[in-house]
A and B are shown apart, each in its own frame.
Chain A
Amino acid sequence: MEEKGMNARIKALRQLSLDTPAHIDLTRAISETETYKKYEGELSIPELRGQVLKDYFATKQLYIGDGELIVGEKGDSPQASPTFPELCCHTMEDMHVMNDRELISFKVKEEDYKIQEDTIIPYWKNRSIRHKIISNMTPEWQASYEAGIFTEFMEQRGPGHTVGSVKIYEKGFLDYKDDIQKSLDSLDFMNDTEALDKKNELEGMKLACDAIMILGERYAAYARELAEKETDPKRKEELLQIAANCDVVPAHKPQTYWQALQMYWFVHMGVTTELNPWDAYSPGRLDQHLNPFYERDVEAGILDDDKALELLECLWVKFNNQPAPPKVGITLKESSTYTDFANLNTGGITPTGENGVNNVSYLILDCMDDMKLLQPSSNVQISKKTPQKFLKRACEISRKGWGQPAFYNTDAIVQELLNAGKSLEDARRGGTSGCVETGAFGNEAYILTGYFNIPKIFELTLNNGYDKVAGKQLGLKLGYAVDFKTYGELYDAFKKQMKYFIDVKIQGSNVIEKIYAENMPAPFLSIITNDCISKGKDYNGGGARYNTKYLQGVGIGTITDCLTAVKYNVYDKKTFKMEELMQALDDNFEGHDRILNLVRNKIPKYGNDDDYADDIMKSVFEFYRNEVTGRPNMLGGKYRINMLPTTCHVYFGDVMLASANGRLAHKPVSEGISPEKGADTNGPTAVVKSCAKMDHLQTGGTLLNQKFTPSVVAGEEGLEQMANLVRTYFNMDGHHIQFNVIDKETLINAQKHPEDYKDLIVRVAGYSDHFRNLSKALQDEIIERTEQSFN
C-alpha cells in the first residue's frame, strides 16, 4: 500500500496504537473515590466535580511515548480506558464480561478485580447515575426499554456530543480564570435567586482550570526530565520543545501550529476525563482553526508541509489511542465499537460564508489517506463554494474503500441550524459531529437521547399493542391487524402507538436531564462552551447558548416497505388477506413462499424513486418529525430528530419478529435513511432521489450509506461521476452520504478468514470500524447491503 507521507516515527506510533489491546485503567476511579470520600458534603457538587479532575490530573501516571510529539493520555498508556463509576458502576460480572468477551473487550488487570469489588462497588453502587436513572423510570419506560422500543444514551455515558470552537486557540486557561472571576464578581446576591448556584458552578470551573494547568505543568517537567536522560540529541531537542510547548499551553493561548495541536489535545483530555461524554470531544473545523498558525509558522520559516503533516499524524495517533469508554448491555448493542466518534469537519465555509478550504484542509486529507485509522472519524464538508479539486481529492480517498471521508452538505447544515434558531454566524461556525449530528460548535449542547425503533412500533400495532417477543402488553390496545378495515385505520393506529411511545421516551429523558443537571455537572466542558461562564451555568444544566435534545429515528427503510407491502397487497390489490399475512409473519414466512415473493419482489419499494413507496416514507417521517420537534426539554431548549443508527439497527432487528416487507425474524432493520437491503434495484441516483424526498432541513442529520463495487468508481469517469453524484444529492438538500467500496467477495472472505484481513476497515454507520471487530450479524448486514453496479 502506498504510504507516501508516513515516516518511520509515525509508522511506529501508529503500529503501537494498533497493536496495543484496549484495557481498563482503574486509577481514575480510585482517585475519584478518594476525592469523594474526602470532600463529599463539604464542597458543593460543581466544586466536587472540579476537585475530582484536579486530584486525578495532579497524581495520574504521565506518559510520553518514544517519538511522540503531541503528549497526553487519559490513562497510564495508549489504549488505557479509565472507568467512570459515578456514571456506570460496573458489577463484578461486568468486569469479567468486558475482559472475556470476544468483541470490543477490555483487558482487566488481575489486581483490579479486587479493587473494584472492595473499593469501587461499595461506594458507587447506589450513587451512580445509572442506578439513579433506572430507579427513577416508570414501569412503562422500563418495559419499553427492555423490549427494544428505544435505547437510553445517558445510562452509562454522560451527555456531551459537542465540538470545540476557535475559542480554544484564542485563550489560555489563565485567561478563562480571569473570565470566571469577572463573572463571579458580577454575581447579584441581592436579586438573583440563583446567585449561590452560579457561584458554586463558577468555583467548580476555576478548579477545572487549575486541573488542566497542573497537568500541563507536570508534562512540561516530565518532558524535561526525559530530555535530561536522553542521549539522542535530536530526540532531546524534541523533548525540550515539548516541554516548552507545555509551558505555554494550556495555561496560555498557543503561539505556534505545534502548540495549537497540543492545546487541542489537552482540552480533549480534559473533556474526556472529567466525564465520559458521548462522542468524546471533537476538533470540528480543525483546518480553519489551524490555518492562521500554519500560515504564520510557514512565513516565519519554522514549519513546512512535511512537518505540519507529521504533527497532524501525531495527533491522529492520539485519537486512535483512546478507545471509547467500555460499554455493557444495551448500550453496547446500540454502539458496539471502540470508535469514540471524535470527528472533524474539513472544508466547508468560513464564519463569513466564504469557501473554507485552505492548505491545512488538503494536509488533513493527506493525513487521513496515510493513516487509515478508525479515529478520528474524518469527514469533508462540501458547499456550493467548495472547489471541485477538493471534492475529487476526497472522492479519491473515499473510493479506496475504507469509508472515510464521509461527505456532508455544508449548505444544508447551515439551513438546518438556522431552522433550529441559530444565528447565521453560529450556523456557519457549526457542522456535524458524532455520526451525522448537526450542532453549533462551541455554542451548543446537542444531546442524543436514544434510538427509536419505528418498525417495532408497527409490529406492535399489528398485534393490539402486544409484544410477542417480550410476551408483554407494551402499547395501547387499539385492535388487531384484521380489525383495521382500511389502510387509513391501520395507519392511524400506528401513529397513535408511535405518539404513545415518544411520550414515554421523552418523559423519561426529561427526568434523566434533571438527574444530570443536579448530580453531574461538567465544569471543565462548561469553561470552553459559550455562554456557560457568563451565565454561571453548567453545560449539563442549560449553560450553553443553545440546548437541543435529539431523538434518533431508526428503520425508515424497513417501516416504509412494511407499510407499502400491506397497503399494496392487502388493501389496494388484494393479493392476499391480512389473516394470511399475519400467519406468514408468525411462521417467519416458512411455508408462505408466495406471500414472501410478493412482498419482497413485487411491490414498490423505498429507494427506487417510486412515489408509491416514497410518499409513505414522507408521511412516516413527517409524523415522527412533527411529534418530536419542538417539544420543550428541561434545559430551555427543544427536541429535534435525526435519522441514524450507529449499530442499533442490528439490535432493533434482533428484538423483532418477521416483518411485512419480507425481512425475517431477528434480522437487522434498515440503517440510517438507506433503503432496506436489496430493496433498491434502480441504481444510486434512484436511491439518493428517494432519500432526498425526506425533508433533511427539518432534521439534525440523516445518514445514507452507499455501497459500490470497485468497478463503478474506477477510472477518471468513475471518480468524476462519484463527485457529481455527491453534488447532485447535495443540490437536493441531502445531508450526508458515505461510501463503502469493497467487493462482496472480499467481505465474505474476510468473514471466513479474519486473520488475513486484520486491516480491513468498512463503513458501518456514521463511522468506520475494523470488519473483524463487528458482530457476525453486523458483518452479514454489511455484506448484504445492496451493491450498486452496472454493466
Chain B
Amino acid sequence: MSLITDIQKYSIHDGDGIRTTVFFKGCNLRCTWCHNPETQSYKKELLFDEDRCVGCGSCVPVCPSRAITLERGKAVTDRKKCTACGKCTDYCNLNLREVAGKEYPVDQLVKELRKDEMFYEESGGGVTLSGGEVMLADIDYLEELVKKLHHFGISVTVDTCGQAPYENYERILPYVDTFLYDIKLMDSEIHKKYMGTGNELILSNLEKLSRDGARLYIRIPTVKEVNGSDEAMKAIINYLLEKNIHVTRVNLLPYHNTGSGKYMKIGKNYEGADLHAPDKEEMNHFVELFREAGFHNIKIGG
C-alpha cells in the first residue's frame, strides 16, 4: 500500500471540471522549486509548524522515542529519532503537529473519492491522481484503484513527471482518461541540475504514451532562471513536433513559491528562493511561440 498526504476536493486546476486530487507520497525527482516537499519521501514524516510553537512542552513527555526536547522556548524534534508515530499530534494544544502520509485501503479511498460523484458528473470532472509521483506508488494498488474508479464511471486523470517505469503506465492506461504530463527542460544536463536526474526516461515515456493513444495535457512549470527563455521553449516545441507527440492541451504553469513554507515544517531548507516566475508579457510571448508552431489550446495556469 502507498501513502497519501492529502485528498483535496474542489480542485479546479488539475484537469477538467471539478475534481478531487489525491496526493501520493514519494518521488524520484528533486525539483528545486517543488511546492509539495512533504511528498518527496516515501516514508511518513512529521510536519511541525515551529514558528508558532510557544514551548508549552505538552508534547515532550508523550513521545515514545524521546525525540522532542525544549530548546529556547520551542519544541525541537530530533528527526533521526522521530518515527512519525503521530502520538504528539494529539497533545499539541495549538494543533501545530501533523503526520504526512496516511494509508488508505483501496475500498476506503474509493468510497472517499466517490463522495463528490455528483459534482464530477455535472462539471465533467473526476479524480486526479497526483503527488509526489503517483506512477511510483505501489502499482498493484494503483491498478486496483483506477480499475474501481473506472468501474464506477469516474474519470481518472494522472498528474505525472514521467520518471517511472513504462510498464506502470501500461497497466493503468486503459482506465485513465487524461495524463497531465510535465516537461521541464530538453537539455538533460541542466535537467539533472534542477531535477536531480536527467530527462531520458521522461521523454521516452512520453513518446510511448503518445504512440499508445494516451490523451495528453503537456504541463510546463515555467521558471525564469530555468526554462523561461525562447531557447528552452523552442527546444520543447521542436521536440514535441519532431516526435509527433499528440498534444491535446499545453499548460504553461508560472512558478510560484507557495510551497516554501512547508520546507520548514519538515526540517528542510527551501533551495528555490532565488527563482522567479516570468512576467506576464513573457508568459504571453511563450504562448505565442506555441501558437506559431501550430498548437491550439494553450493556457497559462492549470
Interface set of A (CB-CB < 8 Å, partner B): 593-594, 596-598, 600-602, 609, 682-686, 689, 712, 715, 717-718, 720-721, 724-725, 727-728, 731-732, 788, 790-791
Contacts and interface: CB of A to CB of B under 8 A. Distances in A.
B118 A601 contact: no
A725 B119 contact: yes
Contacts of A721: 10, 12, 17-18, 123
Contact of A725 (B18, B91, B115): B18
A724 B92 contact: no
B290 to A, nearest CB: 19
Given A685-B116, A790-B8, A790-B12, A594 B95 contact: no
A731 to B, nearest CB: 6
Contacts of B93: 593-594, 596-597
Contacts of B35: 791
B18 A724 contact: yes
Interface of B: 8-13, 17-18, 35, 56, 58, 90-95, 115-116, 118-119, 122-123, 258, 301
Contacts of B17: 721, 724
B10 A684 contact: yes
A786 B47 CA distance: 23
Contact of A717 (B13, B56, B94, B118): B13
A573 to B, nearest CB: 10
B58 A685 contact: no
A683 B10 contact: yes
A788 B95 CA distance: 20
Contacts of A597: 92-95
B245 to A, nearest CB: 25
Contacts of A609: 115
Given A594-B58, A689-B115, A721-B123, A790 B18 contact: no
Contact of B12 (A593, A600, A717, A732): A717
Given A721-B18, A791-B258, A683 B9 contact: yes
A737 B118 CA distance: 17
Nearest to B9: A683
- Secondary structure at chain A's binding surface: helix, strand, loop or mixed? helix
A790 B10 contact: yes
A727 B258 CA distance: 31
Contact of A790 (B11, B94, B123): B11
A689 B116 contact: yes
Contacts of A790: 8, 10-13
Nearest to B123: A724
A724 B9 contact: no
Contacts of B9: 682-686
Nearest to A726: B122
B283 to A, nearest CB: 14
B11 A728 contact: no
A720 B17 CA distance: 8
A276 B64 CA distance: 68
A228 to B, nearest CB: 61
Contacts of B118: 728, 731-732
B90 to A, nearest CB: 7
Contacts of B13: 717, 790
A725 B58 CA distance: 42
A685 B90 contact: no
Given A596-B93, A685-B18, A689-B116, A727 B10 contact: no
Contacts of A732: 118
Contacts of A594: 58, 91, 93
A717 B251 CA distance: 14
Contacts of B115: 609, 685-686, 689
B10 A724 contact: no
Nearest to A609: B115
Most A CB contacts (10 A, CB to CB) among B9, B91, B301 go to B9
A717 B19 CA distance: 12
B114 to A, nearest CB: 11
A791 B258 CA distance: 8
6 contacts: A593-B58, A593-B93, A594-B91, A689-B116, A724-B17, A728-B123
Contacts of A731: 118, 122
Contacts of A682: 9
A686 B115 CA distance: 8
Contact of A685 (B91, B92, B119, B301): B119
A731 B258 CA distance: 35
Nearest to B301: A715
Given A596-B93, A721-B18, A788-B10, 12 more contacts: A594-B91, A598-B90, A685-B115, A685-B116, A686-B9, A686-B115, A721-B10, A724-B122, A725-B10, A728-B122, A790-B8, A790-B13
A479 to B, nearest CB: 31
A292 to B, nearest CB: 34
Nearest to A730: B122
Contacts of A689: 115-116
A496 B75 CA distance: 48
A677 to B, nearest CB: 16
Nearest to A716: B299
A727 B122 contact: yes
Contacts of B91: 594
